[in-house]
Homo-oligomer: A and B are copies of this chain.
């Protein structure tokens, strides 16, 4: 699971979870435990090991048992909750398809898609085992399952460790459809008919509100909640017309409203990065759209029709009637959004090597506490 935040205040058990197995960051590494420590894996409050140490990942062969470990944790959690007759919420955040991509030995080399395909096959197999357990325990009709991804395929890792965004433009790190648009599957036998397709525009933020609704709760009323309850969509086929706002940092890059998408800023990555071979849009180039400088279009946004042009290749002519019509619909929605926005406290602005997992709770029991460097808080530098 990516970037939960590694500081103590971001610990899942401080955010409503009763149990946790996993890591506060992705499985980057290996590190030397001198300049940087390897990233720890936790059970509840304490670390139980580190990636590349107790939780090995062979970068050369791509072999790692992590998906199998996460699968067993999920199955065990479900069995325990079922035995207790407890309702439960499981957030199963596997990361095998994040570079460095890994799979366990039975899956390595089994796909036509290389290591990335092997990882997808293992995830697919694992999801199947979780669904089978729910059915075997007789609780599938009481269990809502939602499957999706937090971003489009990271094409910087393609072709060996990256997926494909099909017809969509660019990949992860951008606000083009390839970076932001993901498939999602909702499963709830007896409630959601198999094989239905919804065109509802949703966001992962909707899962918060939707989960509350499933639990019979209302979202807190003391703040603006961006997420919508998707149950009317999934159960009754309702489609709600709502905008989705695309940000990079504090910059509103784009908005989607119905089939229209307006870009207020275009940027892939810097010329400097691009010239080093870092490419968020390999093989793709839309003139004036996949720009390597940050181009402002706030006065006259670039507008695409995602139905006819899902690949964002053909911006409307500014002079066309359809452009003027789309803009007249988008403008008030964006104004309303910007007027009602309450800026949050940036969570990723302070970097400090001293707080980076040197001696997480529990390290002393394992004899794995490392000595942190001197504490030097700095403004983080985010290259993208």
Give A residues with C-beta under 8 Å from B. Answer: 111-114, 116-117, 158-160, 164-167, 169, 199, 259, 282-286, 305, 307-314
Q: How far is the CA of A310 from the CA of B163 in the complex (A)?
A: 11
A305 to B114, CA, bound (A): 10
Are A112 and B199 in contact, CB atoms less than 8 angstroms apart? yes
**Residue of B whose beta carbon sits closest to that of A311:** B283
Q: Which 4 A-B pairs have the closest CB atoms?
A: A112-B307, A283-B313, A114-B308, A159-B309
Q: Is the CB of B167 within 8 A of A313?
A: no
Given contacts A282-B313, A313-B283, A314-B282, contact A308 B160 (CB under 8 A): yes
Residue on B nearest A314 in the bound complex, by CB: B159
13 A-B pairs besides A117-B308, A158-B313 with CB distance below 8 A are A111-B307, A112-B259, A112-B308, A113-B307, A114-B307, A116-B308, A158-B314, A159-B309, A159-B313, A165-B167, A169-B283, A283-B285, A284-B284
Bound form: Cα–Cα A312–B286 in Å = 18
CB of A101 to closest CB in B, whole Å: 12
The CA of A273 and the CA of B146, in the complex, are separated in Å by: 48
Give A289's nearest chain B residue, CB to CB.
B283
In angstroms, Cα B164 to Cα A165, docked, is 13
List, sorted by A's number, 29 A–B pairs whose CB atoms are closer than 8 Å: A111-B307, A112-B307, A112-B308, A113-B307, A113-B308, A114-B305, A114-B307, A114-B308, A116-B308, A117-B307, A117-B308, A158-B309, A158-B313, A159-B305, A159-B308, A159-B313, A159-B314, A160-B308, A164-B167, A164-B310, A165-B167, A166-B166, A282-B314, A283-B285, A283-B286, A283-B312, A283-B313, A284-B284, A284-B285
Q: How far is the CB of A203 from chain B (nearest CB, A)?
A: 19
Residues of B within 8 A of A308 (CB): 112-114, 116-117, 159-160
Residues in chain B near residue A116, CB distance under 8 A: 308
A161 to chain B: closest residue by CB: B308
Residues of B within 8 A of A166 (CB): 166-167
